[in-house]
Amino acid sequence: MQFTIIARDDTAEGTLNKRLGAREKHMERIHAMKAEGTIIDGGALIDDDGRMIGSVVLCEFPDRVGLDAYIQSEIYSTEGVWKDITVLPFRRVQWK
């Protein structure tokens, strides 16, 4: 199944520093998962001033259980960066 994760960062003081501190490990894992096909695409949500305030991830897992396991193990979750997470199933457009 394909899913969209919309994860808004915690608004507490210091969250951006937590995000930046975890970003290298986050990106390493995202790139590895993209190479294996689990992550389709994604990027940072930004505010009007260009500051990162969350993430959007398009991904594919066999089921919701696999997706939930990913979210629970994602460094932005374990480090307290992501606070408000919405998951929406979606269907990717098939290109010829």
Beta strand residue intervals within the chain, DSSP E = 2-9, 39-46, 52-60, 82-90
Give tens-digit pLDDT for 66-93: 999 999 999 999 999 999 999 999 998 8
Domain tally, the chain: 1
Domain that holds residue 29: 2-90
In the predicted structure, residue 96 carries a pLDDT above the cut 80: no
Nearest of 3, 7, 5 to residue 57 by alpha carbon? 5
Cα distance between residue 64 and residue 35, in whole Å: 21
| Coil, helix or strand at residue 47 | coil
Query: Against a cut of 0.95, is the pTM above it?
Result: no
Q: What is the CATH number of the domain that holds 16?
A: 3.30.70.1060
CA 18 to chain centre: 15
Residue 22 lies in a domain: yes
Phi, psi dihedral angles at 47 (to 5 degrees): -90, -175
